[in-house]
Chains A and B, each alone.
Chain A
Amino acid sequence: MGKRRHTLKIGITRSGKTYKALHDIKASSVPTLFYNIKHQEVLKGFKDITSSDTLRKLDHALKHYKMVNYLPSDDEEQREIGIKNIVNYLFKSNFKEVDFVLDEAWEVVPQGKAKSPVFTITRRGLEKIRAEFIVQSPADLDKKAVKQCEIIEVFRLNDWDYKYLKGIGLPAEEIQRKLSNAPQYSFVRVAEGAVSEPMKM
Chain B
Amino acid sequence: MSDINYDQPIGEEASVAHEQDADMDYEFTGFTEPKGSNFDFGIMEKLRTPTGEGSIEDYLDHPLNFAKSRAIAQILRGATGFCGDLKLAIVDVTMGIFNLSKESKGKKGNKWENVGTL
Contact = CB atoms under 8 A, between A and B. Distances in A.
Contacts of B9: 51-54
A51 B4 contact: no
B11 A81 contact: yes
B5 A73 contact: no
B10 interface: yes
10 contacts: A51-B9, A51-B11, A52-B9, A52-B11, A55-B5, A73-B11, A81-B12, A85-B14, A88-B4, A93-B1
Contacts of B5: 55
B2 interface: yes
Interface string A68-81: 00101101001101
B3 interface: yes
A94 B9 CA distance: 19
B13 interface: yes
Interface residues of A, number: 26
A164 interface: no
B12 A55 contact: no
A56 interface: yes
Interface in A23-63: 49-56, 58-59
A81 B6 contact: no
Interface of chain B, main secondary structure: loop
Contacts of A70: 10
B8 interface: yes
A70 B10 CA distance: 10
Contacts of A88: 4, 14
A89 B4 contact: yes
Interface string A124-142: 0000000000000000000
B7 interface: yes
A51 B2 contact: no
A58 B8 CA distance: 11
Interface string A185-199: 000000000000000
Nearest to B7: A54
What are the nearest 7 A-B pairs in CB distance? A51-B11, A56-B6, A78-B11, A82-B11, A55-B6, A51-B10, A82-B10
A85 B13 CA distance: 8
B10 A92 contact: no
A84 B38 CA distance: 38
Contacts of B4: 55, 88-89, 92
Interface in B66-96: none
